[in-house]
């Protein structure tokens, strides 16, 4: 038996309960179908087969979930920090115990390759452990003395929050948002992406089995313009943590306006990787390839624009083509696979439409540029060269394994091209000239920059973008700034003079 067939056998076991029961919502600790009785099917992008049916939540389900989150809020907020911490650690342990099931289901539901998803569960558990450690200090504040008063600040959880997540790495991103919300003392209504509901259900189950009180974490499946929209408009929901497209971020900001929702938006990117001719080109090549062709290129932080110095462009691009042509596209559960199928038909059509757009714009397809196979959403890893930054392939987020290479001559030109984008999530810089690195990073317009490195996440650092890539930061204490309100209390130290009116 090959490793792939052994994995498929295990997957079949893991999917059995989903096939039998479908995916239900989880509201106030109870599994429930949508109140309307509506359901939709989730498909595997590998062979377009139906995995199972999913509750299609609507306004009534969101109302019930928001009410449950509101009811559960006071007790969760007031639970002693150490007790909350213990529950979060038990959730981390529950994730670790079901790591393989989570990874296999994630691969089958999203098309992501096992080599990357096998660590997704462990990273999710790490998020719970990290924020569990922060629980005890979350409310700490400052003492600010003023004449006649002792001023004290503290932070309090904002209330029930909505979490809306995308399909690209759904498990990791859900933990990334929900762990700090719970640690802060908020209760949650989670609306996962309609294309990838499996692991959100497993995660919510783990949380309940870990002893999370009913109503603290509610799961409502459904579509963005139904359940998602209603969640952003709901008056009991005090904030929305959203990860998804920039266009949707702007929509939900409008939807949340009437209830003055606090919004945290983690949105799209068209991130530059700038390679100067003095860089360690071997390492730069590895990082360039990894940061666009891993996770199917369905990655907000992917380096989808390569800005390469003219002096080394020909050789670097030739080596890139060689490597890109050797990337293994295949079944997501095959350990050898480097790129799996794209998430869904409409996304597949979008990504592959850029092959024609590139040609029309006058770029060269130096590698890939074709669909693969007759079923499933497989594409060849693709490289466009001879591109300029005005082309659509350089400006639009393709969100697939597709890299656009653009040459530059001077540092000034590199900076101008890098910043000529509506997005500003990440940037990557390769140079061995320290003062150049300092100059360029000062002027690069991005929320996160790595120098001589691929994206290496460190949980205490701020994660987020500028321009159309988002508003707000995750990570470390920044997460608590979003999920909590600052509160100031002034205590009079004596009988200071109070202005007297109407005397
Ligand atoms: P999307 O915006 O289409 O959907 C994201 C979520 O929003 C889904 O759950 C969807 O149902 C919901 N939604 C859609 N319309 C809504 C509405 N009107 N009201 C409320 N909710 C609504 O994004 P996607 O296609 O699922 O994900 C890919 C996008 O996510 C890419 O643009 C990618 O760059 C971005 N992303 C960003 C980050 C980051 O940290 N910046 C991380 C991962 C993905």
- Within this chain, do residues 235 and 194 fall inside the same structural domain, yes or no? yes
Active site residue 52: no
Catalytic residue among 300, 338, 397, 454: 300
Q: Block means of pLDDT (10 residues each) for the chain, length 503 residues?
A: 95 98 98 98 97 98 98 98 98 98 98 95 97 96 96 98 98 98 98 98 98 98 98 98 98 98 98 98 98 98 98 98 98 98 98 98 98 95 98 98 98 98 98 98 98 97 98 97 98 96 97
Closest CA to 239 of 304, 306, 171, 164: 164
- Within this chain, do residues 277 and 262 fall inside the same structural domain, yes or no? no
- Packing angle of the helix pair 170-184, 120-134 (nearest 10 deg): 10
**Strand partners of residue 263:** 240
Which residues constitute the domain of residue 392?
A: 272-451
**Does 267 contact ligand 1 (Cβ within 6 A)?**
yes
Ligand 1 centroid to Cα of residue 165, in Å, is 6
- Within this chain, do residues 261 and 287 fall inside the same structural domain, yes or no? no
- Within this chain, do residues 288 and 259 fall inside the same structural domain, yes or no? no
Q: Does residue 459 lie in a domain region?
A: no
How many domains does the structure of the chain reveal? 2
Cβ-based neighbours of 254, under 8 Å, separated by 6 or more: none
Active site residue 300: yes
Would you call 473 helix, strand, or coil by DSSP? coil
pTM of the entire structure? 0.98
| 228 conformational bin, left if phi > 0, alpha if psi -120 to 50, beta if neither | alpha
**Strand partners of residue 292:** none
**Does 269 contact ligand 1 (Cβ within 6 A)?**
yes
- Within this chain, do residues 68 and 55 fall inside the same structural domain, yes or no? yes
- Packing angle of the helix pair 198-209, 170-184 (nearest 10 deg): 30
CATH assignment at residue 355:
3.40.309.10
So what's the pLDDT on residue 14?
A: 98
So what's the pLDDT on residue 324?
A: 98
**Does 221 contact ligand 1 (Cβ within 6 A)?**
no
Closest CA to 81 of 138, 162, 22: 138
Measured in Å, how far apart are the chain's first and last C-alpha atoms?
94
- Within this chain, do residues 282 and 349 fall inside the same structural domain, yes or no? yes
∠215-213-89 over CA atoms, to 5°?
120
Q: Number of C-alpha atoms within 13 angstroms, CB side, residue 377?
A: 25
Q: Does residue 150 lie in a domain region?
A: yes
- Within this chain, do residues 474 and 434 fall inside the same structural domain, yes or no? no
CATH assignment at residue 473:
3.40.605.10
**Would you state the structure tokens that stand for residue 24, as one six-digit string?**
């239900």
Question: Closest ligand 1 atom to the C-alpha of 169?
Answer: 43
**Strand partners of residue 41:** 53
Q: Does residue 498 lie in a domain region?
A: no
- Within this chain, do residues 159 and 125 fall inside the same structural domain, yes or no? yes
| 109 conformational bin, left if phi > 0, alpha if psi -120 to 50, beta if neither | alpha
Phi, psi (deg, nearest 5) at residue 24: -100, 160
Closest residue CA from atom 22 of ligand 1: 224
Q: Does residue 501 lie in a domain region?
A: no
- Ligand 1: which of 170, 224, 399 to mutate, most ligand atoms within 8 Å of CB? 224
Closest CA to 215 of 76, 387, 354: 76
Q: Does residue 162 lie in a domain region?
A: yes
- Within this chain, do residues 255 and 277 fall inside the same structural domain, yes or no? no
Closest residue CA from atom 26 of ligand 1: 166
- Within this chain, do residues 239 and 376 fall inside the same structural domain, yes or no? no
∠170-334-121 over CA atoms, to 5°?
30
- Within this chain, do residues 342 and 280 fall inside the same structural domain, yes or no? yes
**Strand partners of residue 31:** 26
> CB neighbours (10 Å) of residue 144?
12
**Does 101 contact ligand 1 (Cβ within 6 A)?**
no
Q: Could you give the strand order of the β-sheet that contains 382-385, starting from the edge strand earlier in sequence?
A: 364-367, 382-385, 402-408, 305-309, 272-275, 426-430, 448-451
DSSP string, 369-432: -SEESSSS-EE--EEEES--TTSHHHHS---SSEEEEEEESSHHHHHHHHH-SSEESEEEEE-S
C-alpha 486, offset from chain centre: 26
So what's the pLDDT on residue 1?
A: 78
Task: Give dist(CA 306, CA 106) in Å, integer.
Answer: 29
Q: Does residue 461 lie in a domain region?
A: no
Q: Does residue 422 lie in a domain region?
A: yes
Q: Does residue 296 lie in a domain region?
A: yes
C-alpha 429, offset from chain centre: 23
Residue 204 near residue 226 (C-beta atoms within 8 A): no
Task: Give dist(CA 164, CA 166) in Å, integer.
Answer: 7
So what's the pLDDT on residue 289?
A: 98
**Would you state the structure tokens that stand for residue 435, as one six-digit string?**
């003062």
Helices (H), 198-307: 198-209, 229-233, 246-255, 281-293
- Within this chain, do residues 301 and 225 fall inside the same structural domain, yes or no? no
Ligand 1 centroid to Cα of residue 164, in Å, is 8
Q: Which residue carries 């939900």 as its tokens?
A: 252
Task: Give dist(CA 62, CA 36) in Å, integer.
Answer: 12
So what's the pLDDT on residue 129?
A: 98
**Would you state the structure tokens that stand for residue 356, as one six-digit string?**
């024609």
Q: Number of C-alpha atoms within 13 angstroms, CB side, residue 382?
A: 28
Ligand 1 centroid to Cα of residue 310, in Å, is 36
Strands 161-164, 188-191: pairing is parallel
């Amino acid at each position: 038996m090959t490793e792939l067939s052994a994995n498929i056998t295990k997957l079949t076991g893991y999917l059995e309960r989903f096939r039998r029961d479908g995916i239900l919502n989880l509201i106030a600790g109870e599994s429930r179908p949508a109140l309307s009785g509506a359901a939709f099917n989730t498909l595997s992008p590998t062979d377009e087969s139906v995995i199972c049916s999913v509750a299609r939540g609507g306004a009534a389900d969101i109302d019930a979930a928001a009410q449950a989150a509101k009811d559960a809020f006071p007790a969760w907020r007031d639970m002693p920090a150490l007790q909350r911490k213990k529950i979060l650690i038990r959730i981390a342990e529950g994730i670790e115990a079901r790591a393989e099931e989570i990874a296999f289901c994630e691969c089958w539901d999203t098309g992501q390759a096992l080599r990357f998803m096998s660590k997704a569960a462990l990273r999710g558990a790490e998020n719970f452990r990290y924020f569990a450690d922060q629980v005890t200090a979350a409310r700490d504040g400052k003492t600010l003395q003023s004449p006649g008063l002792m001023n004290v600040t503290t932070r309090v959880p904002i209330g029930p929050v909505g979490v809306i997540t995308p399909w690209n790495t759904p498990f990791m991103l859900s933990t990334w948002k929900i762990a700090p919300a719970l640690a802060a003392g908020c209760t949650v209504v989670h609306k996962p992406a309609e294309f990838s509901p499996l692991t959100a259900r497993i995660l919510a189950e783990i949380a309940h089995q870990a002893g999370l009180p009913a109503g603290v974490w509610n799961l409502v499946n459904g579509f963005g313009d139904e359940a998602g929209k209603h969640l952003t408009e709901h008056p009991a929901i005090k904030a929305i943590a959203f990860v998804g497209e920039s266009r949707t971020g702007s929509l939900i900001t409008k939807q949340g306006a009437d209830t003055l929702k606090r919004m945290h938006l983690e949105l799209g990117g068209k991130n530059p990787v700038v390679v100067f001719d003095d860089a360690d080109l071997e390492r730069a090549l590895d990082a360039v390839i990894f940061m666009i062709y891993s996770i199917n290129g369905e990655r907000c932080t992917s380096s989808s624009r390569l800005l390469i110095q003219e002096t080394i462009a020909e050789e670097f691009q030739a080596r890139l083509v060689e490597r890109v042509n050797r990337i293994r596209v295949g079944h997501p559960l095959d350990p050898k696979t480097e790129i799996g199928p794209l998430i869904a038909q409409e996304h597949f059509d979008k990504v592959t439409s850029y092959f024609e757009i590139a040609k029309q714009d006058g770029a060269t397809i130096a590698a890939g540029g074709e669909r693969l196979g007759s079923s499933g959403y497989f594409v060849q890893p693709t490289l466009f060269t001879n591109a300029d930054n005005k082309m659509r392939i350089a400006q639009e987020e393709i969100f697939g394994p597709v890299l656009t290479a653009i040459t530059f001559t001077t540092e000034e030109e590199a900076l101008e091209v890098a910043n000529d984008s509506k997005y500003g999530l990440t940037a990557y810089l390769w140079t061995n000239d320290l003062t150049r690195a300092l100059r360029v990073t000062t002027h690069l317009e991005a929320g996160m920059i790595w120098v001589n490195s691929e994206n290496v996440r460190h949980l205490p650092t701020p994660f987020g973008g500028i321009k159309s890539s988002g508003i707000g930061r995750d990570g470390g204490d920044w997460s608590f700034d979003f999920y909590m309100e600052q509160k100031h209390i002034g205590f009079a130290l004596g009988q200071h003079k109070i202005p007297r009116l109407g005397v």
